[in-house]
Amino acid sequence: MEKFTKKDPVETITQVKRALLVGVIYADHEEESGQALLGELKELTENLGIEVVKTVLVYLRQPKAPLLLGSGKTEELIEMAHTLKCEAIVLDETLTPGQQRNWEKMSKLYVMDRQEVILEIFGQRAQTKEAVLQVELAQMEYTLPRLTRAWTHLSRQKGGRVTLRGEGEKQLEVDKRLVRKRISQLKRELKEVLQHRGVQRKRRLRIPVPTGAIVGYTNAGKSSLLNMLTEAKVRAEDKLFATLDPTTRRLELPSGQRFLLTDTVGFIRKLPHKLVDAFKATLEETVHADIIIHVIDGSSPEAEHHWETTQEVLKELGVESKPTLTVINKSDLGVDPVLFGALQTKVPDLLQISARTGEGTDALLGAIEALLEEQVVLANLMIPHDRYDLIHALYELGAIKNQEVRDDGVYILGNIPKRFLTQVEPFEIKAP
């Protein structure tokens, strides 16, 4: 147990320069899927500026409580990490606090699981106040049961305001109390931010411009699609989680109707549940959207698995039955016909686009308009003269077909969005 030594143990993730990556594949899983997940973890780790020296896929019949893996395989991997002069071992699984401590005691190395890698990336890239608070809350909740780890302290949590002032059982209790206090404070601050966000949403809904949310697996090209459709300048890079904060831009459809489109945070397999919970507020734009645009990376051999992952998250959010357009992006890179066929059996109205070249844009815009038309009703409205704000809103929507001004109000015939009707219920509504 004590044969592995290191003169200068790494205490923070920022000190890690070289790492050994370990993937785990269970008996009922396919090796191809395990390799894909390991490749994904490699990209995530490299996004932190850490060199991945070697990747290893380990087969496991059932997890072992002390270390997840058997003691023999664990020692073999630790020996490999020391031989390769790695400062860290990264496992593509979720380790319990006890398992993480046991690995670090045995190896005298910094040991991370998939959760910690993703949390660190989110911590580095969060920009808005809401995202910063959400990430820090997830980090603190992850850290609390891990305060006794062998080589690390709370100082490595960039977003945190908790510091350690000494060692020992007494100090550990002080630190736990400080972390719990910070968690409570973060929840209060986040609640205030979300209330402000709710007020902003209500203001938007006063003029009921239809809305859409772009969702999909990370790196599918969601931000690129938003930029192409709306001429926005959202950061779009070929890396996982390049964009964390939701961005809303206005799009004018071919018919002249206005449409608000929001880019959301990307999904990923094995996303830590703490982050799913933390980012549900960010994903509320998806919950409140009229339609969802689900973007799939057509150049990825894992596209079908990515579609399934996104569907699972949408189900968690309770929006799996919301009107959805599914588009395969990156058609300019070539889409495997077999892959396209497999997805088409699940999504018959599958569209193919290229956010880079603009291919398929007309078909996508037409499909958006067709979905929106299903959410309107042809109706006659009588709106009093003191509610010209509603008339203005209908003009903004391009909903008015005919208008007649009378003594008692303005009579309008138009394609009225169903959710707009909730604002005019006190007035006369007639079928045409």
- 181 and 134 part of one domain: yes
- 299 and 220 part of one domain: yes
- 232 and 343 part of one domain: yes
> Which range, 54-68, 272-286, 373-387, is most confident?
54-68
Mean pLDDT of 178-204: 81
**Domain ends where: 178, 198, 218?**
198
Per-residue pLDDT, 113: 93
Q: Residues of the chain with pLDDT > 70: what percent?
A: 80
**Domain ends where: 373, 388, 417?**
373
- 192 and 212 part of one domain: no
> Which range, 88-102, 125-139, 227-241, is most confident?
88-102
- 108 and 83 part of one domain: yes
> Which range, 106-115, 210-219, 261-270, 377-386, is most confident?
106-115
- 136 and 270 part of one domain: no
Q: Residue 172 and residue 163: Cα distance in Å, rounded?
A: 11
- 263 and 134 part of one domain: no
Report the CATH number at residue 357.
3.40.50.300
3-class SS of residue 279: coil
- 337 and 352 part of one domain: yes
Per-residue pLDDT, 111: 94
The verdict on residue 288 lying in a domain is: yes
Q: Residue 177 and residue 183: Cα distance in Å, rounded?
A: 10
The verdict on residue 417 lying in a domain is: yes
pLDDT at 192 over 80: yes
The number of distinct structural domains making up the chain is 4
Within 13 Å of residue 105, how many CA atoms lie on the same side as its CB?
Answer: 12
3-class SS of residue 322: coil
Angle between helices 169-206 and 129-143 (to 10 degrees): 150
The verdict on residue 4 lying in a domain is: no
Per-residue pLDDT of 39-86, as tens digits, reads 889 988 998 999 999 999 999 888 888 999 999 999 999 999 999 999
pLDDT at 399 over 60: yes
- 216 and 268 part of one domain: yes
Report the CATH number at residue 392.
3.30.70
Per-residue pLDDT of 2-14, as tens digits, reads 455 554 556 678 7
Per-residue pLDDT of 308-339, as tens digits, reads 988 988 888 888 888 999 999 998 888 888 88
Q: How far is residue 116 CA from its own chain's centroid?
A: 16
Buried b (16+ CB within 10 A) or exposed e, 19-52: bbbbbbbeeeeeeeebebbbebbbebbebbebeb
- 248 and 324 part of one domain: yes
Host domain of residue 23: 13-122
Between 50 and 418, the higher pLDDT residue: 50
Per-residue pLDDT, 7: 46
Q: Quick one: tokens of 313? A: 């998250």
- 369 and 394 part of one domain: no
- 24 and 160 part of one domain: no
Mean pLDDT of 26-45: 83
Residue type for 168, please? G
